[in-house]
Structures are given as structure tokens and as C-alpha cells.
Amino acid sequence: MSFPRLLRLVALACLALPLTGCYLLQAASGQMQVLAKREPIAKVLRDPATSPKLRDKLEYLSAARDFASRELGLPDNASYRSYAALNRPYVVWNVFATAEFSVQPRRWCFPIAGCVVYRGYFNQRSAERYARHLRMRGDDSTVGGVAAYSTLGHFADPVLSTMLGWSDTQLAATVFHELAHQLIYVPGDSEFNEAFATAVEETGLERWLNLNGRAHDLPAWRLRRERNDQFIQLLLAARERLRLLYASGLPVAEMRHRKQQEFGRLKYDYQQLKASWNGYAGYDAWFDRALNNANLVSAATYHGCLPGFERLLASVDGSLPRFYAEVRKIAALDKAARSRAVCEEGDSPVR
């Protein structure tokens, strides 16, 4: 059966299924389309028609990919050894949602990935349509484009054209992050998974830059990381204020008014932070929209548990094999125990 015909059959089957089945089919067909566009990076590099800019990026990524397995202990497989050219700005668009008066994210449960705090769509209009559906039923929702993701090793994930607008440091960091998901992943615990992968990304990138003769890139990367940490802390502070507001028991009309005040305060606080950055405007686009609870989901998911993983890595003197061994022990615990181990303030668990 031809690939286009298979996709048509998937689309027809979608019409006969309930919403969840249709969602899974669009995800499967979107994934198949991405995989169908893969070409081995070695082949792309041999092609005389490959542009010098693309050649430089792929050579850099290939070296970072080898470093990831050789020096960071990340999976040595076919992932990020092929390239897929997509004719769109993002590979998927994620929908995040919360109740109107809650900062806790909605969760959706699927085979393999378990329960996650987003629904990913390979078509932006489909993502926007589902976000509108959630808003019509009273939820807060938002849509965010994603340039790269991991299939957790179930497929050989390619380097995507959607990634190539990034700096070299961000490209390497993303490869380290996504490979970390293949190494350790707990179905249904997005906070744990994303913070672990971010910890690996950060230490991996620092080692990559130092050991690969790119130490001159470190100051700029550290400045970006510092600003990003300050941005995330801004969001987490707003999230905590909203959490307390929603637990206050105030009348709905007053709570709704106070909620809008808090998002106004968040935008004001960002302007103050931006002034301390001498006008650096890297987060302006994030604030250039109406904000709601759902916009804060990613901050808590990707960064809420990160300090605990950083403490754990420091406690084993930066040894990645020992770090992975300890994370695997924690991953085997129930969710409450995992949260106590790495997501709450205090010392890393005693081994």
C-alpha cells in the first residue's frame, strides 16, 4: 500500500471514531509523515546540492550526537542520525489546559507515553480548534509550537528542519535533552521526566562546550540560562499567587477580577525584569498575548523539579553514571515518593 493511500485511510477511519481515537490516529499519521521524510545525515552531507549552512549545522549536530553517547552515557542508536525537512515552522503544536480557577494542568493519558499535561497535534489548525473546544467548556487553554520532540526510542527520531533556526548551543542541548528521555522516562510523570532531561541537557551542554573547544560560547549561554531562570521564577511566583487566590474561597466574580489583576501584575513584573536586562527583549513574544492559567503549565512542568535533580547530580560529584543510577532508583518509587525526593525543597535523598 502506498504511503499517501495509507494516510487517506487513516483520515477516513478518523471520521468513524470518537474524539480520543481520532486524536490518536492524527498523531500516528503525523508521526508517519515525519518518518517518511528522513534521510541519513551522511547522505545529506554527501549531496553536492546541500547548502553550506545546512551542511555546517548537520556536521555540528553529528559531532554533538556522537559526544552524547560517548561522553554523557546517552543511548547510542539511530536517533538524530537522520534529517527530515518539513515545510512548517514547528513539528507539532501542544495544547495545554487548566480549569478556570486552578493552576493544576489537565492531563491526558495515552499508550506508551502514559499521562501527560498536553495534547500534541501535527496540524496547527487542529490544535487551535481543540483549544477553542476546551475554552467553550470553561477551561483556560493555550497552544504552543514545538520544534523537536522525542518518541522515547520507539522510532529513530530525526533532526528536524524546524530546529535549524536555533543557535549551535541550543541544538546540542536539545539533542541531549531528547536522548535523556530515551534513557529514563516515567509514564505519567511529566514534571519528573522534563526536569531530569533538563538537568542532563544543562550539564551535557556545559561539558560539550568545554571539551569540544567551544568554551567561548559558555558566557553567552550562561547569560541566556540566567535570564531564562529569572523568567521561569517570575512565572512560578505568579502561579503560586494564583494558587493561593483560587484556594481563598472568594466569590466567583471577585476571583475572576483578581485573576486578571494577577496576570496584569505578571506583565508589569516582566517589564521590570526586562529593564534589569538592559532592554533584552527575548521574551516579549511570550507576553504579547492574553494570558491565562494554561500559559503557566510549561514553567511548572519543565522547571519545578529541576533544583532537586541539580542537587542530586552535585551530591554524586557530577558523575553521570552514578546520577543515572540514583535517578532510576527514584523513578521506581511511587509518584508521591518521587516528588518528595526531587520536587520538594531540601536535601537530595540519602542513599
pLDDT grade for 137, boundaries at 50, 70 and 90: very high
Q: Is residue 4 over pLDDT 70?
A: no
Tens of pLDDT along 210-260?
988 888 888 888 899 899 989 999 999 999 999 999 999 999 999 999 999
Say what the pLDDT of residue 18 is: 45
**What average pLDDT does this structure show over 155-172?**
94
Say what the pLDDT of residue 345 is: 63
pLDDT grade for 349, boundaries at 50, 70 and 90: very low
Say what the pLDDT of residue 113 is: 64
3-state helix, strand, coil split of the chain in percent (to 5) is 60, 10, 30
Residue 283 near residue 272 (C-beta atoms within 8 A):
no
Q: In the β-sheet with 38-40, what is the strand arrangement from edge to edge? A: 38-40, 82-84, 159-160
pLDDT grade for 184, boundaries at 50, 70 and 90: very high
Separation CA 124–CA 127 (nearest Å): 5
Tens of pLDDT along 80-108?
999 999 999 999 999 999 999 999 999 99
Letter string b/e over residues 73-94, b meaning 16 or more CB atoms within 10 A of that residue's CB: bbeeeebbbbbbebeeebbbbb
Q: Residue 68 is placed in which grid cell?
A: 552524547
Say what the pLDDT of residue 15 is: 40
- What residue segments make up the domains of the chain, in order of their start? 1-36
Residue type, 173: A
> Cβ contacts of residue 253 below 8 Å, gap of 6+?
none
pLDDT grade for 10, boundaries at 50, 70 and 90: very low
Tens of pLDDT along 193-204?
989 999 999 999
Q: Is residue 346 over pLDDT 70?
A: no
Tens of pLDDT along 291-312?
999 999 987 766 778 899 999 9
Is the model's pTM score more than 0.85? no
Percent of the chain with pLDDT over 70: 90
Tens of pLDDT along 27-84?
888 999 999 999 999 999 999 999 999 999 999 999 999 999 999 999 999 999 999 9
Say what the pLDDT of residue 11 is: 43
Separation CA 308–CA 89 (nearest Å): 34
**CB under 8 A, 24+ apart: contacts of 70-76:** 71/207, 71/208, 71/211, 72/176, 72/179, 72/200, 72/204, 72/207, 72/320, 73/183, 73/320, 73/321, 73/324, 74/176, 74/179, 74/180, 74/182, 74/183, 74/200, 74/204, 75/153, 75/179, 75/182, 75/183
Q: Is 254 exposed, middle or buried (0-12, 13-18, 19+ CB in 10 A)?
A: exposed
pLDDT grade for 332, boundaries at 50, 70 and 90: very high
Q: Is residue 8 over pLDDT 50?
A: no
